[in-house]
Chain A
Amino acid sequence: MKVQTPEGEHVDLLTVNIGPSHPATHGALRAFVALDGEIIRAASTEIGYLHRGFEKMVEQGTYQQVLPYTDRLNYCSAILNNIGFSHTVEKMFEVEVPERATTLRVLLSELSRLIDHQVCIAAAAVDLGALTNYWYLFNPREEVYSIWEKLSGARLTNAFTRIGGLYRDTYEGFETDVRDVLPKIEKGLDDAFKLLEHNRIFIDRTRGVCPITAEQAVSWGWTGPCLRATGVDRDLRKDDPYLSYETYDFQTVIGSTGDTYDRLLVRMYEMRESLSICRQALSRLKPGPVNTADARLSLPGHDKTYHDMEALINQFKLVYEGIRAPAGEFYGSIEAANGELGFFIVSDGTGKPWKIKVRPPCFTQFAAYADLVEGSLVADAIACLSSLNIIAGELDR
């Protein structure tokens, strides 16, 4: 493509597709770029490769049937999506879940955040050519998946929460398993820290690469670790606490320059805070019910269903007609691993949602991608992409 540069020079630019069939773009993200040597002069992005009509599908079933779909939003931390959705619907009912369910949700949220950040950091290091970190971070991650498997029966798409509580209480030995896995995650994290934090090559590849200012990040609608990397101290767990996060002792982590290095390091430091929250939640776990007793949300249980007429009717109505969320429009959100995950729900008072719009945190990050990479090297574009941690499931819905 023959062009005249802003300096008046005539050059021949090469157009190249970065993705979707590129290991760093997971088969789901595409950037079409115009290259001058190795420098990206312009980029244009395309998404939708994983678009499966989430928002159309969820209008067809009941509220309970939406829950397994939420697993597929950010599949690196499925339980966080489950919690976000259940929490939003409970807020519409103004129902609080029992204390054990709340504490377990905090514990599962933070474990999910840990494994989500592990994916981001490990994959980012691999994309930069540093494979060792991957094993240090992914070995303990695998053990969290074993816990998920014992807990919910599934490794990846757990669908572990229910509107009004959890699918079921934990298995025997759950607390020991979590207690055992936390030091392993910590060890892997420390090793990755030692390998990356002061590593000359890592710093050269990430520091000053694709930076963004705080004002730009806010205008692009960024939230979560990518926003905090620019120095903006915002975290829904602190600003608008849910699940009693205000009672936990933890810090928000902020960066200063908003470059690739900061985005990755913020995630690494956040993992330390999450480990601490996990330990605090473990120490608070007391026996108790994990589902609310509110008959509008929770099934009555088999004993009652088989022996009590009203309970049988209740079970029948809840399963066949769905949970009847109060008519109206509501937006609820939580701090997911990548930022604010929100659900905008329009209810007509029946058991099926009229509309559910997901507000995915990745969407805002990838929208800015073309702007971020223009002017940088091809290799930097890959480093930048992995630091944004774009999950196509929630990006494309």
Chain B
Amino acid sequence: MTSQPLGLNQALTPATAEHRKAFETKAFEILSQKFEAAMDPRDRWSLTAIVPGSRLRECVHFLRDDPAMRLDLLLDITAVDYLGYPGHDAARYAVVYNLRSQRFAAHRLRLKVWVEEEDPQVPSIHDFFEIANWQERETWDQYGIDFSGHPDLRRLLNHIEFTGHPLRKDYPVRKRQWLSTNDPLILPLEARLEANGFVVLEHVAVNSPSVEETDLLGKSAVEKINYVEKAK
């Protein structure tokens, strides 16, 4: 049991409102001094600190490792699309990082980075938290936010042939898309083999879509339906 970091196997003192307030005051003071953080007035219940995208990585690194902060659990990464939000006057998107501590029960905060519509980019934090890899993939998939430096920014929940980013406010709810093939996954598998020290000597041919599926490529949904109906 020596490999365990001190304290994780001991119960925490339960968080109280006072503890939480004290942490939020202290954390915000440090964040505003070190990383030009601003308080987000939209969060009237707890602390959401807005940091510039350029300072995000050092800020996350600091919050994770600083002995007084220890926000070592990345609960979630998501984005918010404010297109049409009443009275909104900042950038269209925000990427939100939800952090919590496994060392101190009262330590919780969210970081927010504004992302402009023209260039939706944020630096990736996949190397600080293992889970960030998938959370960033999901955010890319749903909102089209580009996490620069992410090693494998693929769609996660939606299909590989899907076009667009469905959680954007301008994505029509009732829009339907024709999806024909399955994800071969061969390239990610080869990448994992190489990461595990293997050298791939002969690449497997990617399952080529059947003749019918190839014929469907490039056709509109209506054309595809007509094509399949005719083939029946």
Identify the A interface with B (CB < 8 A).
1-6, 10, 13, 15, 30, 32-34, 41-44, 46-48, 51, 53, 55-56, 60, 91-92, 213-216, 218-221, 223, 231-234, 238-241, 246, 252, 254, 256, 326-331, 333, 340, 342, 344, 346, 348-349, 354-355, 357, 359, 363-364, 367-368, 370-371, 374, 396-397
Q: Which of B30-38, B54-62, B129-137, B216-224 contacts A (4 or more CB under 8 A)?
A: B129-137
Residues of the B chain whose Cβ atoms lie less than 8 Å from the Cβ of A327: 42
- State how many angstroms separate the Cβ of A380 from the closest Cβ of chain B: 17
Closest B residue, CB atoms, query A94: B45
- B211 at interface, CB cutoff 8 A: no
B86 close to A348 (CB less than 8 A): yes
B196 close to A241 (CB less than 8 A): no
The 5 closest A-B pairs by CB, nearest first: A6-B197, A221-B131, A42-B192, A2-B202, A4-B199
Please encode chain B, from 101 to 138, with 1 for each CB lying within 8 Å of some chain A CB and 0 for all others.
01001000010000000000000000001110110000
Give the residue of B105, B133, B156, B192 whose beta carbon is less than 8 angstroms from that of A240: B105
**Known A-B contacts A56-B166, A214-B4; A329 and B42 likewise in contact (beta carbons under 8 Å):** yes
A10 close to B201 (CB less than 8 A): yes
- State how many angstroms separate the Cβ of A318 from the closest Cβ of chain B: 21
B167 close to A55 (CB less than 8 A): yes
- Which residues of B56-75 are within 8 A (CB) of A? 72-75
- B180 at interface, CB cutoff 8 A: no
A349 close to B131 (CB less than 8 A): no
Residues of the A chain whose Cβ atoms lie less than 8 Å from the Cβ of B195: 42
- State how many angstroms separate the Cβ of B205 from the closest Cβ of chain A: 11
Residues of the A chain whose Cβ atoms lie less than 8 Å from the Cβ of B171: 56
Q: How far is the CA of A248 from the CA of B62 in the complex (A)?
A: 37
20 sampled A-B residue pairs with Cβ under 8 A: A1-B200, A3-B198, A6-B198, A43-B192, A48-B156, A48-B157, A213-B3, A214-B3, A214-B4, A214-B8, A218-B8, A220-B130, A231-B9, A239-B12, A329-B42, A344-B96, A349-B86, A355-B81, A367-B134, A374-B196
Closest A residue, CB atoms, query B183: A46
**Known A-B contacts A41-B196, A328-B43, A367-B133; A221 and B75 likewise in contact (beta carbons under 8 Å):** yes
Residues of the A chain whose Cβ atoms lie less than 8 Å from the Cβ of B40: 329
A329 close to B48 (CB less than 8 A): yes
Closest A residue, CB atoms, query B169: A59
Give the residue of B81, B159, B189 whose beta carbon is less than 8 angstroms from that of A44: B189
B86 close to A2 (CB less than 8 A): no
Chain B interface residue number, banded: 35 or more
Q: How far is the CA of A341 from the CA of B40 in the complex (A)?
A: 24
Q: How far is the CA of A295 from the CA of B15 in the complex (A)?
A: 30
Q: How far is the CA of A254 from the CA of B44 in the complex (A)?
A: 35
A233 close to B8 (CB less than 8 A): yes
B158 close to A231 (CB less than 8 A): no
A254 close to B185 (CB less than 8 A): no
- State how many angstroms separate the Cβ of A79 from the closest Cβ of chain B: 23
- State how many angstroms separate the Cβ of A101 from the closest Cβ of chain B: 22
Residues of the A chain whose Cβ atoms lie less than 8 Å from the Cβ of B167: 55-56, 355
Residues of the B chain whose Cβ atoms lie less than 8 Å from the Cβ of A55: 142, 167
Residues of the B chain whose Cβ atoms lie less than 8 Å from the Cβ of A53: 166
Q: How far is the CA of A91 from the CA of B46 in the complex (A)?
A: 12
- State how many angstroms separate the Cβ of B187 from the closest Cβ of chain A: 9
**Known A-B contacts A51-B157, A238-B14, A240-B105; A233 and B9 likewise in contact (beta carbons under 8 Å):** yes
Residues of the B chain whose Cβ atoms lie less than 8 Å from the Cβ of A368: 130-131
**A214-B4, A327-B42 known, 19 other contacts, Cβ within 8 Å:** A1-B200, A2-B201, A3-B198, A3-B199, A4-B201, A33-B189, A41-B198, A42-B198, A55-B142, A56-B166, A218-B73, A231-B4, A231-B9, A234-B12, A240-B14, A329-B42, A331-B110, A348-B86, A359-B76
Please encode chain B, from 148 to 163, with 1 for each CB lying within 8 Å of some chain A CB and 0 for all others.
0000000111110000
Q: How far is the CA of A1 from the CA of B189 in the complex (A)?
A: 11
Give the residue of A348, A355, A359 whose beta carbon is less than 8 angstroms from that of B98: A359
Please encode chain B, from 164 to 203, with 1 for each CB lying within 8 Å of some chain A CB and 0 for all others.
0011000101000000000101101110110111111111
**Known A-B contacts A41-B193, A213-B3, A219-B130; A241 and B14 likewise in contact (beta carbons under 8 Å):** yes
Q: How far is the CA of A367 from the CA of B8 in the complex (A)?
A: 22
B11 close to A233 (CB less than 8 A): yes
- State how many angstroms separate the Cβ of B81 from the closest Cβ of chain A: 8
Residues of the A chain whose Cβ atoms lie less than 8 Å from the Cβ of B11: 233, 238, 252
Residues of the B chain whose Cβ atoms lie less than 8 Å from the Cβ of A374: 192, 196
- B231 at interface, CB cutoff 8 A: no
Residues of the B chain whose Cβ atoms lie less than 8 Å from the Cβ of A359: 75-76, 98
A219 close to B189 (CB less than 8 A): no
Q: How far is the CA of A264 from the CA of B114 in the complex (A)?
A: 42
Q: How far is the CA of A371 from the CA of B131 in the complex (A)?
A: 12
Q: How far is the CA of A327 from the CA of B203 in the complex (A)?
A: 54
Residues of the A chain whose Cβ atoms lie less than 8 Å from the Cβ of B15: 239-240
